[in-house]
Amino acid sequence: MRRGLARRWRMALASGLLAMSAAVAQAEPAFDPLDEAQALQTATASGGDLSLGLLANTGNTRSSTLTARGALDRHTAQYDNRVDLLYVDSHARGELADRKFSIADKLKLELGRRNYAFGLAHYDHDEVAAIRERISLAAGLGRHLLRGADQLDLDLGLGWSNAQAQDQDGFEDRVIGVVGAVYAHAFNAQSQFRQTAQTEFSSYNLYLASVSTLRLKLSKRWFVSLDYELRHNRKAVADTGHTDEIRSANIGFDFGKAPAQASAEPLLEAFPEN
């Protein structure tokens, strides 16, 4: 029964993401904020990255952890759509210690030089965390507080969450509030730091996710990165921790054209200050 419900929710989430992408594709030709920015509609940048990390211990402790991360980003003058994926598989002495899978799709529609609207779809599955399975959908408004070498975005929104704790057979539906922030700093063309934080709160639970990434480019496509992710649930059943941490050293590669390569300066000049 539980697996059937989980399968239906996954199908519903996939359908929602496809519908969101289709709606954006249909709406794009009508975008006409200002004549100066209209020419940037065709300046589309699509790209992404994939990285893998493997940690193995032998001797007194026999364990292995595989971490895979990926991101897809499509950027135009009108919108930015980013998909983040995470998979973690950990074994100790031949037995499963942890297994996580996450996918998040965030769509931002620019409303001016500083403000934007966003929609977020997020799915988590975790074999050992306090919340075994969680789907959340949210929408709201955001603001670009910093632009340039230092970038800082702040999000505020409302949404819906459907979650299952480790000790539950069914799922709980809740209205949630969402507060999120994304900070990025470019040290130079070869290295950068990125910090994301998101909090979802309801009468049932408070969920906090924070991801810190330090990346160093080895060549045009290849890079190494250090990632630290923290996940905290206020609600946790007995013998289950409230906080999970994921640390990994990875090697990866970029593909496509990174959105950062598309200059935002003409667009910033075209929009008046909000």
Please determine, for residue 149, whether its predicted confidence score (pLDDT) is greater than 80: yes
* CA-based end-to-end distance of the chain: 50
Place of tokens 């810190």: 212
The Cβ of residue 77 has, within 10 Å, a number of other Cβ atoms equal to: 23
Q: If you average pLDDT over every residue of the chain, what do you get?
A: 80
What pLDDT shows up at residue 146? 93
* Res 94: pLDDT: 75
Give the pLDDT confidence of 205-235 residue by residue, as tens digits. 889 999 999 999 999 899 999 999 998 888 7
Query: What's the average model confidence in pLDDT over 144-172?
Result: 89
> According to the model, what pLDDT value does residue 243 have?
86
pLDDT of residue 258: 59
Residue 208's SS3 state is strand
Regarding predicted confidence, which is higher, 45 or 124?
124
β-pair partners for 100: 88, 126
Encode pLDDT of 55-81 as tens digits.
888 776 778 899 999 999 999 988 999
**Cβ 139 vs Cβ 157: under 8 Å:** yes
In this predicted model, what pLDDT tens digit does every residue of 34-60 receive, in sequence order? 443 443 444 678 999 999 998 888 776
Distances (CA, A) of 14 to 18, 20, 100, 272: 6, 10, 18, 37
Q: What is the pLDDT of residue 169?
A: 79
Show the tokens assigned to 144.
């670009």
Instruction: Label residue 9 by pLDDT band (50, 70, 90).
Output: low
CA-CA distance, 227 to 70, in Å (whole number)?
12
Put simply, whether the predicted model's pTM sits higher than 0.85 gets the answer: no
> What is the separation of C-alpha 67 from the centre of its chain, rounded to a whole number of angstroms?
16
pLDDT at residue 28 is higher than 60: no
Using an 8 Å Cβ cutoff, are 122 and 133 in contact? Answer: no
